[in-house]
Amino acid sequence: MYEFSRAVNSMHSEDIKLLMKQSSREGLISFAGGMPNNNLFPVKEIDEVYNNVSHHLKKLCFQYGPTSGYPPLVGSLQKIMLRKGLPVKNDKILITTGSLQAISIITQEFVNEGDVILTERPCFVGAISVFETYGAKIIGIPIDADGIDISALKNVIDSLKTPPKFLYITPNFHNPAGIIYSEKRRRALLDVLSGTDIILIEDDAYGDLYFDPRDEMLTKPIKSYGGHNVEIIYTGSFSKILGPGFRLGYMLSSPEIFEKAESIKQALDACTSNFMQILANEFIIGGYLEPYLNFLRKEYSERKNILQKSLKKHMPKGIQWVEPQGGFYMWLRLPDNIKATSLFTDCLNKGVIFVTGRTFDPDNIKDDHLRLSFSNMPKDTIEKGVMLLSKVISSHMKDIERLEFSRQN
């Protein structure tokens, strides 16, 4: 028997590992994977990019780079962020190995064991696992279709003896809930945090993936809003706009936070792969990114439309969801007496899987939702998957009705 650290005993990591194992079964229709479909990756474009890279730059690909990131990529990101209204002149960018590493670095920078972190409830499970690993006490605040519940947030902040270290949120096309924060809610959130010393971590992994170009303005980062005194760390990722295999993310923060983060990153992995940073940068400066994003927006929008239509056609009454305006996810609310985990095995046996709501609950309890990811689905299997899912849900609903009827009679 080994004496493992507390960090490895995270419940959430176990759930993810189990799911990953099950979702690789052949022939399964999987709404589980929160990743792009392999057929959507820009393989041809990256071939072109690499073939056009100079011999000098190719040699640099193999080398270590500065801990803060490959300077030309930092420059390209500054331009992209400037267009989003982000304060790149005063604040500094740190390139990270996926944005999950940025979340991990920020946690390491601020959190001691037992410290409180506020998150949304539900919350991106990768972030929950990181917070658990560092021994944080996580308090989840409910969200609705417009964002975090402001009065619940206020109540929690008022009730705490020592202020939480930070609040972690995903305002654009939330994982798992699919929602986008309204502007009113973003401003109300800043009002609540103002003067509290609670840092806001704004995770914008999906902001570029709006379906309708007119919705681009809705994705404006909270960090770009003026007229407040809230410290905001903004994180972003190339995983959903180029490919998770690149393992490229970044964080934008004040110089003071950046400096400490850079030291932590130095100890973690010295630098993010130069190879991937150079390819990503050449992809951006070669003018490939915008057309590729437009292609992705169209593809994901089509998948969402098929899923929306299929759900409307086949789902029994009593199942609720908010139609997303971007991103990867639909978040289905089950009737009160049905638990997502109780559906899972029957669905698996019928050949369809999803992620249970409990996975995204910081307390690992609330299980009245299921997450359907449409990003990874071939368009022609979506309806079949929904039909299988609907059948299992309907049969569970009937069983419960029967049970309740016999209890009453």
Strands 249-253 and 329-333, how do they pair?
Answer: unpaired
Minimum CB distance to ligand PLP smaller for 205 or for 278: 205
Shortest spacing between CB 207 and ligand PLP, in angstroms: 10
Q: Decide: helix, strand or coil at residue 372.
A: strand
Shortest spacing between CB 356 and ligand PLP, in angstroms: 16
Shortest spacing between CB 121 and ligand PLP, in angstroms: 14
Strands 249-253 and 92-96, how do they pair?
Answer: antiparallel
Which residues, in sequence order, are bridge partners of residue 142? 121
Query: For residues 104 and 10, what is the distance between their CA atoms, to the nearest angstrom?
Result: 15
Shortest spacing between CB 322 and ligand PLP, in angstroms: 17
Six token digits for residue 340:
């997502």
Considering the rule CB under 6 A, would residue 207 count as an interface residue with ligand PLP? no
Q: Which residues between 220 and 259 bind ligand PLP (CB under 6 A)?
A: 237, 239, 244, 249
Minimum CB distance to ligand PLP smaller for 239 or for 356: 239
Q: How many chain residues are in contact with ligand PLP, going by CB under 6 A? A: 14
Q: In terms of Cα–Cα distance, which of 149, 99, 145, 146 is closest to 120?
A: 149
Q: Which residues between 14 and 73 bind ligand PLP (CB under 6 A)?
A: 34
Shortest spacing between CB 380 and ligand PLP, in angstroms: 25
Backbone angles phi, psi at 169, to 5 degrees: -140, 160
Helix (H) or strand (E) holding 201: strand 199-203
Minimum CB distance to ligand PLP smaller for 14 or for 113: 14
Instruction: Count Cα atoms within 13 angstroms, Cβ side, for 39.
Output: 7
Q: Which residues between 87 and 146 bind ligand PLP (CB under 6 A)?
A: 98-100, 124, 126
Minimum CB distance to ligand PLP smaller for 70 or for 124: 124
Q: Return the amino acid letter for 157.
A: I
Residue ranges binding ligand PLP (CB under 6 A): 34, 98-100, 124, 126, 170, 175, 203, 205, 237, 239, 244, 249
